[in-house]
């Protein structure tokens, strides 16, 4: 989701300060970008992608950008090399519910595939601006867990964690993703990756492509 703090997360986790970070509903990440660093003797590569719900770009445009990146990097991204995990960031204060939430659920399922949910970490953000122990924030968190998108993903193996916008928190979340990967002992292939490989790279023939294009 645009404005959730994906690029900030990548910058804080890696210590790299040359990433463009925005504070509006317009995504500063126009193209997927990568950062690499070492964590607990593991080489970590984070892929920061543009977010959906951008006020300046359609979901179709964003999907095409992500799909092109996957196609251009298929030697590293598609069979046999796969992703080790996925981290989805979402503001705990977001009021986007109802139709928007159901739309996001369908998009995520079409992009990731239900089988990938167990490799997903949903990191809620904005906690550094809130008192995490008061009744209001506890209510926000309870509502988030009841949300249509996240409830289903959590039931099918996704982990929900708080992100406090500092390096220790980012490293903890990435560490949990690494634990999931080691437990499975293999990478995860996203639904869109498999479908693009099977269709010769044609995003229009993928589940998400047929949904939004």
Rounded to whole angstroms, the Cα distance separating 143 from 98 reads 13
Per-residue pLDDT band at 122 (split at 50, 70, 90): very high
Q: Is residue 161 part of a domain?
A: yes
Q: 97 vs 26, 100, 121, 146, CA distance in Å?
A: 19, 6, 20, 11
pLDDT, one tens digit per residue, over 183-213 is 988 888 889 988 988 888 888 899 988 888 7
pLDDT, one tens digit per residue, over 140-172 is 777 777 776 788 888 999 999 999 999 999 999
Q: Is residue 1 part of a domain?
A: no
Q: Is residue 87 part of a domain?
A: yes
Q: Is residue 24 part of a domain?
A: yes
How many CB atoms are closer than 10 A to CB 158? Answer: 22
**What does the pLDDT average to over 116-129?**
90
What's the total number of domains in the chain? 1
Residue ranges making up the domain that contains 167: 6-212
Per-residue pLDDT band at 46 (split at 50, 70, 90): very high
pLDDT for residue 175 is more than 90: yes
Q: Is residue 197 part of a domain?
A: yes
pTM: 0.84
Rounded to whole angstroms, the Cα distance separating 140 from 134 reads 10
Return the CATH number at 125: 3.40.50.300
């Amino acid at each position: 989701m645009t404005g959730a703090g994906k690029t900030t997360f990548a910058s804080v986790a890696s210590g790299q300060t040359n990433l463009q970070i925005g504070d509006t509903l317009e995504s500063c990440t126009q193209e997927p970008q990568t950062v690499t660093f070492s964590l607990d003797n593991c080489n970590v590569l984070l892929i920061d992608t543009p977010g959906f719900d951008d006020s300046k770009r359609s979901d179709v445009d964003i999907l095409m950008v992500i799909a092109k990146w996957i196609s251009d990097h298929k030697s590293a991204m598609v069979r046999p090399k796969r992703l080790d995990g996925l981290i989805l960031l979402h503001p705990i204060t977001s009021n986007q519910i109802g139709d928007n939430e159901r739309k996001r659920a369908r998009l995520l399922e079409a992009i990731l595939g239900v089988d990938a949910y167990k490799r997903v970490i949903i990191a809620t953000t904005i906690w550094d601006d809130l008192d995490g122990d008061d009744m209001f924030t506890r209510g926000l968190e309870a509502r988030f867990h009841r949300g249509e998108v996240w409830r289903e993903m959590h039931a099918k193996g996704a982990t929900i964690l708080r992100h406090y916008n500092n390096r220790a928190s980012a490293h903890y979340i990435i560490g949990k993703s690494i634990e999931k990967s080691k437990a499975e002992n293999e990478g995860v292939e996203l639904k869109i990756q498999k479908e693009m490989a099977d269709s010769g790279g044609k995003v229009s023939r993928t589940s998400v492509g047929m949904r939004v294009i």
